[in-house]
Chain A
Amino acid sequence: MKKFVVSLAIIVAASLPAYGASSDAKAPVSETWKHAGFFGTFDRAAVQRGYLVYKEVCASCHSLKYIGFRNLPAIGFSEAEAKAIAATYTVKDGPNDDGEMFERPGRLSDRFPSPYANDKAARAANNGALPPDLSLIIKARANGANYVHSILTGYADAPADMKLGDGMSYNPYFSGMQIGMPNPLAEDQVSFTDGTKASVKQMSKDVVTFLSWTAEPELEQRHAMGIKIVIFLLIAIGLTYAAMRRVWAAVH
């Protein structure tokens, strides 16, 4: 019967990694992430640095529409800081009592404003390519954290025999080996307030950590609760096993 268990394990293990595997792109490189694993928590400093990278680099083309300013305290900003960050954005509101739309500074209750009015405008500004919303990008790609990190650090010169499309960049980790997004990161592109050197790899790791948080803001609570439930269940398994043996003692 052991074969049975093994077989069932195989059905899960063998069939699923095939999902989303694109045959033509290189497999993403594996990084270590502090939020991975049973006890994983977000590296607060990295998430905050990653937020800066998003704000100064990614946000010019990519929206983050499921994240509100009120979510920022969860990654270590104070409420006052979150309010101040919100106020630096201009948000379209309305209609007011005169029936007019108007602009006002952002509030905690606002979501991050999108860089383009709509998808068509986004495509028009990006050579026909649509920069995807980044809120869920880590969950929306197979092996998401490693994949996005590989894309961000994977730009290189195209092999001599490869002809790139108009406005495309070579990136071996992207399906089709060419990507519409120009290489977004250059050394020292942002200045981190904590003095961390802004290498491409550092910025990429940080922004991926930030985006892992935007994709799974519940991760820390989930891990902590899961550990407690595992402990509870281990005790319950012991108790129910003992109770079962005791009830069955007369039969055996």
Chain B
Amino acid sequence: MSAKSFTNPIIKWIDYRLPVFSYLHHEMHEYPTPKNLNYWWNFGSLAGVCLVIQIVSGIVLAMHYTPHTLMAFDSTEHIMRDVNYGWLLRYIHANGGSMFFLVVYIHFFRGLYFGSYKAPRELLWMIGVVIIILMMATAFMGYVLPWGQMSFWGATVITNLFSAIPVVGDPIVTWLWGGFTVDNPTLNRFFSLHYLLPFVILGIVVVHVLALHQHGSNNPIGIEMKGPQDSIPFHPYYTMKDMFGLMVFMLFFVYWVFFNPNYLGHPDNYIPANPLVTPAHIVPEWYLLPFYAILRAVPSKLGGVVLMFAALIVLFLLPWLDTSKVRSARFRPIYRQFFWLIVIDCIVLGWIGANPPEGIYIVIGRIATTYYFVHFLIVMPLVGKLERPLPLPTSISESIMKKKPGLAAAE
């Protein structure tokens, strides 16, 4: 860490004893970032902002919410009607979950397109997958808290998945429920874990950023920085770009919160939970639908559960499944087409997850599930070996100069 000398005597005094300012200077100002990051690189910091929004709004909501089966629904309505700006807090939190997933999924597909998971960023990628899995668990348990119909039945369906485990399945489900059905103990522990997990995520995000700062960001052309001509300091260049991106994202966020706050939810969740009445279609929130479709793709319960978890586990193996030496899909004409195919495949899975498992939906769901695994387990290793990538630029600065030849002199 460089010994930066500060002029302000108070900062100097503190920094000598606790080098927080040196650290910030090192990680923000000196930290070299590729010059050529495009707007897809905004989504990492946006995800961080989303996490903070969820934690802050969630802490305040928890001050007014009651985790009891007889009072949870009423206390949610109490927040909506009687707590000052409670409706605002709840709509921010409920839609914020969707926004968080949207941002993280874009962040994920950006990594997939530009090969950000390849050496030396394998652990960075795997930590990211851990974050996504924890987010899913957190979001699922949060959705249970209002104790509406979809909360209750969603909790019933998802916890029941564990009963598919041979021999110990049923005792595990009983243990998860804290009883013989989804009931008050279940709600209590879900509330407790829903409060805990975001802080676990926060801790892992810190590790994610640490891993990122070891080798720095990947970039759209996927070749490493080769010297100062390829990089710029993170601050002020990317702090300003992230700030601009954040404002645009906020506009999108605000649309949902203020003008369409219930569109991303399910109307049934405004009906209090009733263990005696099963909703016509039990569906999770949109961000879990692709996995829900994979779960229901095979007629066997255990098979579905295994496939669903496998769909997540396979993402950990990506750095080794992709055999190509070239990172960025920009220089991979064949892989690029398969990339869009897997994007479309995930959307198709989402659409299947929203529909009842009957007729043509089953067939499409099975084809899409098959392709999901074929893509990662067969297409990626094969294409990496067989494809002839386009010639790579020699450096980041060269690729920029090629694009803007007139500006070369100004450099």
Residues of chain B at interface, number, CB under 8 A? 54
Whether the Cβ atoms of B40 and A1 lie closer than 8 Å is yes
A7 to B348, CA, bound (A): 10
- Which residues of A15-36 are within 8 A (CB) of B? 15-16, 18-20, 22
Residue of B whose beta carbon sits closest to that of A241: B244
Given A4-B343, A38-B259, A233-B247, residue A15 in contact with residue B289 (CB < 8 A): yes
Residue of A whose beta carbon sits closest to that of B39: A1
B240 within 8 A of A: yes
Nearest Cβ on chain A to B407's Cβ, whole angstroms = 6
**Which single member of A8, A16, A229 contacts B106 (CB below 8 Å)?**
A8
B119 within 8 A of A: no
Whether the Cβ atoms of A244 and B257 lie closer than 8 Å is no
Whether the Cβ atoms of B81 and A66 lie closer than 8 Å is yes
A237 to B254, CA, bound (A): 14
Whether the Cβ atoms of A15 and B350 lie closer than 8 Å is yes
Given A14-B351, A144-B267, A217-B81, residue A243 in contact with residue B240 (CB < 8 A): yes
Contacts of A132 in B (CB 8 A): 271
Whether the Cβ atoms of A140 and B353 lie closer than 8 Å is no
B355 within 8 A of A: yes
Whether the Cβ atoms of B350 and A11 lie closer than 8 Å is yes
**Which single member of A8, A229, A241 contacts B254 (CB below 8 Å)?**
A229
A247 to B243, CA, bound (A): 12
A4 to B244, CA, bound (A): 21
**Which single member of A3, A8, A10, A142 contacts B102 (CB below 8 Å)?**
A8
A1, A19, A20 interface centre (most CB from chain B within 10 Å): A19
Contacts of A139 in B (CB 8 A): 262, 267, 270
- Which residues of B337-360 are within 8 A (CB) of A? 340, 343-344, 346-347, 350-351, 353-355
A32 to B5, CA, bound (A): 66
Residue of B whose beta carbon sits closest to that of A36: B259
A136 within 8 A of B: yes
**Which single member of A225, A237, A247 contacts B236 (CB below 8 Å)?**
A247
Given A22-B280, A38-B259, A230-B251, residue A251 in contact with residue B237 (CB < 8 A): yes
Whether the Cβ atoms of A237 and B347 lie closer than 8 Å is no
**Which single member of A4, A233, A248 contacts B240 (CB below 8 Å)?**
A248
**Which single member of B80, B236, B355 contacts A18 (CB below 8 Å)?**
B355
Contacts of B268 in A (CB 8 A): 20, 140
Residue of A whose beta carbon sits closest to that of B149: A140
A175 within 8 A of B: yes
Q: How large is the interface on A (under 10, 10 to 19, 20 to 34, 35 or more residues)?
A: 35 or more
Contacts of A1 in B (CB 8 A): 40
Whether the Cβ atoms of B237 and A247 lie closer than 8 Å is yes
Nearest Cβ on chain A to B409's Cβ, whole angstroms = 13
A197 within 8 A of B: no
A10, A18, A223 interface centre (most CB from chain B within 10 Å): A18
A218 within 8 A of B: yes
**Which single member of B87, B250, B270 contacts A136 (CB below 8 Å)?**
B270
Whether the Cβ atoms of B258 and A225 lie closer than 8 Å is yes
Residue of B whose beta carbon sits closest to that of A248: B237
Whether the Cβ atoms of A222 and B35 lie closer than 8 Å is no
Whether the Cβ atoms of A226 and B81 lie closer than 8 Å is no
Contacts of B87 in A (CB 8 A): 218, 222
Whether the Cβ atoms of A226 and B247 lie closer than 8 Å is no
Q: List 6 A-B contacts (CB under 8 A).
A: A3-B340, A11-B286, A11-B351, A66-B81, A136-B270, A222-B261
Besides A3-B340, A225-B258, 16 new A-B residue pairs in contact (Cβ under 8 A), listed by A number? A7-B344, A8-B106, A11-B286, A11-B347, A16-B354, A19-B267, A19-B354, A136-B77, A217-B81, A222-B87, A222-B261, A226-B254, A233-B251, A240-B244, A247-B237, A251-B35
Top 7 A-B residue pairs of the complex, sorted by shortest distance between their CB atoms: A226-B258, A140-B270, A15-B354, A240-B244, A218-B87, A244-B240, A139-B270
